[in-house]
């Protein structure tokens, strides 16, 4: 009987230890999940900031490119519209 009582005490201790271990594991999982959510939120915010900076940089690059090339492009368009070659090509003059 004493041995049976000692066994019950040991079984109760094991069950209690198992419950405590389950609680520790649950807490660890909860902390891990919370940390993952925080990390995801931080990463999302940093990504927004990064994309905004990249967008600003790209817009500035295109504006600079426009400023650099606008006179040349305007001159090119002007030349194509107003400086028309009115000479008749030699191959067409043969048939005239």
The pLDDT assigned to 3 comes to 67
The pLDDT assigned to 37 comes to 98
Contact by Cβ (8 Å): 88, 96:
yes
Helices (H) and strands (E) counted in the chain, each on its own, are 2, 0
The pLDDT assigned to 67 comes to 96
What span, in angstroms and rounded, lies between the C-alpha atoms of 78 and 71?
10
Q: What residue ranges do the domains of the chain occupy?
A: 2-83
- DSSP SS3 for 88: coil
Residue whose token pair is 């070659």: 85
pTM value?
0.55
**Residue ranges in the chain whose pLDDT is less than 50:** none
Give pLDDT tens digits for 18-30: 999 999 999 999 9
The pLDDT assigned to 2 comes to 55
């Amino acid at each position: 009987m004493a041995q049976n009582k000692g066994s019950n005490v040991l079984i109760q201790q094991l069950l209690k230890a198992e419950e405590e271990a389950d609680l520790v594991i649950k807490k660890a999982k909860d902390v891990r999940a919370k940390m993952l959510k925080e990390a995801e939120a931080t990463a999302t915010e940093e990504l927004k900031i990064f994309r905004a900076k990249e967008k600003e940089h790209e817009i500035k690059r295109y504006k600079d490119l426009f400023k650099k090339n606008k006179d040349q492009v305007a001159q090119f368009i002007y030349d194509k519209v107003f400086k028309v070659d009115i000479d008749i090509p030699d191959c067409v003059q043969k048939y005239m």
